[in-house]
A = this chain, B = another copy of it.
């Protein structure tokens, strides 16, 4: 998959909102842009910080993020190492690597992963909808 540019990502989020009957208000636009421009795995608080300069309240940020998550276009990513919930804009099959030393988060694309997880789920008679895979270890720089 080619890397998606911020503006493309933002438009995708907005399109998804509109497509499900949510109005593309300036506030929602700003939240989508802040999410897309973050680049990494933003927390709600980080987005609040960015958009409050434009007079947008935290309730709106939380509402919009919750809506986007319900639509499945972003994914919440609770971590052991962080008191904030982070969000992942990449909903393709991948695992999130978290360095237990420096805390950096790396998306590891792995097309075969969801298939394997779906197979494991099916052995328990269950269906697969989505996955949240987090691996802890030392990143390239920290392992020395």
Contact = CB atoms under 8 A, between A and B. Distances in A.
Given A113-B116, A129-B137, 19 more contacts: A76-B80, A78-B78, A78-B80, A95-B120, A97-B124, A108-B124, A112-B116, A120-B135, A121-B135, A121-B137, A124-B140, A126-B140, A127-B137, A127-B138, A128-B135, A129-B136, A131-B133, A131-B135, A132-B135
Interface of A: 76, 78-80, 95, 97, 99-100, 106, 108, 110, 112-113, 116-117, 120-121, 123-140, 143
Nearest to A76: B80
A interface, by DSSP: helix, strand, loop or mixed? mixed
Tallying the copies of this chain within the complex gives 2
A27 B53 CA distance: 50
Contact of A106 (B113, B117, B124): B124
Contact of A129 (B127, B132, B138): B138
Contact of A134 (B113, B125, B132): B132
A42 B136 CA distance: 22
A100 B89 CA distance: 21
A54 to B, nearest CB: 29
